[in-house]
Amino acid sequence: MSYDLNLPTICNHRISRELSYLATDLRSVRVAQPMSNTVSVQVYAADNLVPITAYSIVNDSSSNEVNPPQMVYFKYNWRSPGDTFEVSYNTFAATCPKCGGGGALHDISYSAMGTLSVSRNENLLLQNMEKFVITESASNPFHSYLGTNLVSFLGEKITDIGFIKTKITQEVLGSVDKLKELQEKYLTSGRTMTPGETLETVDSVNVEQDERDPSVLRVSVEATAASGQQLTYIQLLKIA
C-alpha cells in the first residue's frame, strides 16, 4: 500500500509561545492577535510556565477600539523586568497568522501518538491530483513532467472568460491524465497500488466564476477511483 505525508490539516488557530514584552507598568503583557478565549492562555517567563493564579486576562484599557483586545495582566508588579516573555493562546480564524483565515494548513502534522500523519487510498489519490494540478510546470527538476501552467493565469485581466475557462480545463485535464499514465506505468512494472489510490476515470472538469467575486474561478474535477468511489477535487484560482 502506498502512502504520502498528509499535508492538508484543519487549523486549530493556536499561536504557540509568541514572543511578548512586559510593559513599563511591570504588569501588562500584550499579544499580537486577539484572543478567542481565556482558558487557552499560557504565559512563560524566562522559559518557565507562569502559574495561572499569578495573572488575569483583561481588556486592554489603552485601546481605542470598540471591542478592545485582551492582554495578560499580572496581579502584582513583575519582579524581574528583564525576563523574556512568551504567550501561547488561541485566536480567531480571521486573524490566524498560520492559515490566514483559510481554516486549513498545508504542512506536516503529527498524530496524538507522535507519528507522522499520512494519506492513503482515496485521500492519497485526491492529494496526488492536487499535487499534479497546483505545481508549476517544470518547477521540480527531479519530476519535470509534474504540474500545470495555471500560475500564468494569476493576475491576468479577464477579457475573454470563455477562452480562459477552456485553457484552464485543458491544463487540468492534461495534468490529471499524466497522473493516470504514471500510475499505469507503475502497475505495469509489477508494483502494487490499492484500488482507492488508483485513478480510474476523470468524469468532468468544470470551471465557473464565483458568484460573489467574478475574479475568482472555481475549478471542480469529478473523478472515480478504481474502488468505485467518486471523488471531487476543488481548486480556487484568483485571476484578476
Terminal Cα distance for the chain, rounded: 42
pLDDT at 77: 97
Q: Which CATH number fits domain 120-238: 2.60.120.10, 3.10.450.40, 3.30.420.40, 2.120.10.30?
A: 3.10.450.40
Query: What residue ranges do the domains of the chain occupy?
Result: 10-104, 120-238
Query: For the segment 47-94, what is each residue's pLDDT rounded down to a tens digit?
Result: 999 999 999 999 998 888 888 899 999 999 999 999 999 999 999 998
What is the DSSP pairing of strand 42-45 with strand 85-90? antiparallel
For the cut 70, the answer to whether the pLDDT of residue 5 exceeds it is no
Q: Does the pTM exceed 0.95?
A: no
Within 13 Å and on the Cβ side, how many CA atoms surround 82? 0
